[in-house]
Amino acid sequence: MHPPATRRHALALIRAGHNDCEVSRRTGLPRTTIRDWRRPVYVPRTNPQRGGETCPRCGRASRRMSFTDADYALLLGLYLGDGYIVAQGRSYRLRIYLDSRYPGIVRETRSLLRRCFPRNQVGTSARHGGRLTVHSVYSTHLPCVFPQHGAGTKRTRAITLESWQQGVVDRAPWQLLRGLIESDGCSFVNRTGPYEYLSYHFSNKSQDILDLFCGTCDQVGVEHRRYADCVRINRRASVAALKDRIGVKR
């Protein structure tokens, strides 16, 4: 596993526009390593010496992880909205907190975790008298999957996507929005006098996550209005696009 400083230097060169050969020449790293850091594909490779698989980002032994762009973007949104990673022993545990009033989201999130971590057990528990459902999964490679993991709450630290994550989001922006809204947002009927219309709302105390949400809305042409710690979407065309592409919470 390469030192974090080496990886940060390589990623800075990638962001500056250098190709794999040039980054390899400047850092002394293999081109295959540069390629994986530029755009890792979460289908772990077989490691014949260990008889198992390896994480495509750090190269260490790993149980199978399998992410399509859509699945990763959705899970990233759920993690940034109401997910939490904690170190436990020699491993890490991802918890995703969901409102039990939406059994469809609860059911689909469990299926999502089982697809992404097919060899890891997905646990489910209830909190606050059943009002919250918590799905969890253990993996030693969760910090590789979500490099935004760190000490403290998300609002107290910088939340920025790495270049490979931004590439995934660029290819599956609607799924990121879906994950963010399903975890930390809502859809509701706004009533004004004799009129009523559907609106979407997203709230988060991290300004970086709000920036990501608004930037992704801009990318797909969804008009929005941002406030101190939330975003509202109520323009008819934008609401229709969200309803068509991500639906309403259920």
Residue type, 132: L
Write down the residue that tokens 């190709």 correspond to. Answer: 19
137-176 pLDDT, tens per residue? 999 999 999 999 988 899 999 999 998 899 999 999 999 9
Helices of type H across 44-91: 69-82
Q: E strands along 89-241, which residues?
A: 91-99, 122-127, 132-139, 185-192, 195-203, 225-226, 230-233
Domain ranges of the chain: 4-60, 69-153, 170-245
Overall pTM > 0.85? no
Give the least confident one: 51-65, 213-227, 235-249: 51-65
Is it the case that residue 11 has pLDDT exceeding 90?
Answer: no
List, as one string, the DSSP characters of 78-96: HHHHHEEEEEETTEEEEEE
Rounded to 10°, the helix 163-171/4-15 angle is 50
CATH superfamily to which 69-153 belongs: Homing endonucleases (3.10.28.10)
50-86 pLDDT, tens per residue? 444 667 677 677 788 888 999 999 999 999 999 999 9
Task: Please name every residue paired with 227 in a beta bridge, in sequence order, or none if there are none.
Answer: none
Q: What percent of the chain shows pLDDT beyond 90?
A: 65
* Banded pLDDT at 239 (limits 50, 70, 90): very high
Q: Do domains 69-153 and 170-245 have the same CATH topology?
A: yes
Question: Which residue from 73, 220, 211 is spatially nearest to 154, judged by alpha carbons?
Answer: 211
Q: For residues 201 and 211, what is the distance between their CA atoms, to the nearest angstrom?
A: 15
- Domain 170-245 carries which CATH code? 3.10.28.10
